[in-house]
Structure 1
Amino acid sequence: MHPVRKQRLILVLVLVVLSSAAVGFVAYAMRGNIDFFYPPKAFAAGEVPMEKRIRAGGCVIPGSVQRADDSLDVQFVITDGVAELTVVFDKILPDLFAEGEAAVIAGRLLPSGVLQADQVLAKHDENYTPPEVADTMVSHEACMNGGKI
């Protein structure tokens, strides 16, 4: 092999190894900041990890919102038309949060099967549903009928 070609080959190999290492370090550093999305039917099937930050989404079932009289605590149920998930939240809900509308919740699943939310995102307007929620919803009518299809 010609010395110039050998030198180029070594340079290319070093660049590939260094860039692969950089990508690996970035992926390793970001692993703690990734929130996986699960629909309520995954919670019912037991496919969701406990005590790890996750996201869930669905339609807030009308009549399921229960607010505490003496604090900001609120409990509500979301559905994807197949299963239901109870959510508890202890902060101020977004202005657009409403029963019968889509919501995405970030938080941790408690051993009791309840999602302890630390963030609730309400749908943007009447024509928009977050894509991950829209993909999991069987039908919007299921939400309006209390989770029944």
Structure 2
Amino acid sequence: LLLTGAAAWQAKPVAAATANYQKQDLNLDVKAAIAIDADSGQILYAKNATTPRQIASMTKLVTVYLTLQAIKQGKLSWTSTAKPTATIAKISQNSEYSNVPLASGHAYTIKELYRATLIESANGAALTLAQAVGGSQVAFVKKMRKLLTSWGIT
């Protein structure tokens, strides 16, 4: 499974020690958080930023990123459709996971799957996107690993 294969990646610590932020100005009720200005790279807020954490939904964010890249490259469009396999549909019905229930064999638009993945953190939708982008989950995991290696995250 995509989520199992991605779980082997290790998070890298963030160098928040040099950040120019006021830690006491915001006290989020979370185990860890970091907010970075995308233009300057300045860390605006950090809480336990140097503590290694499991990647959790980061896998889904990379899935969303690769989906956007496939759309940008013309390999997919928002109106392209993908059908979850029976296995993926079964996973999407499991209430122990973050999910939006999917029907086996039903065609969903890339936009629907993208939204379910990004907004609901839906595992089944992410797995269906992975197949649409990569052709198979194995091929998609290889794409993810290649991308993360290019970003220096391995």
Same-fold call, TM cutoff 0.5 = no
Task: Point out the structure with max Rg over C-alpha.
Answer: 1
Q: Which has the higher helix share?
A: 2
Q: Which has the higher strand share?
A: 1
| TM-score of the aligned structures, taking structure 1 as reference length | 0.22
| TM-score of the aligned structures, taking structure 2 as reference length | 0.21
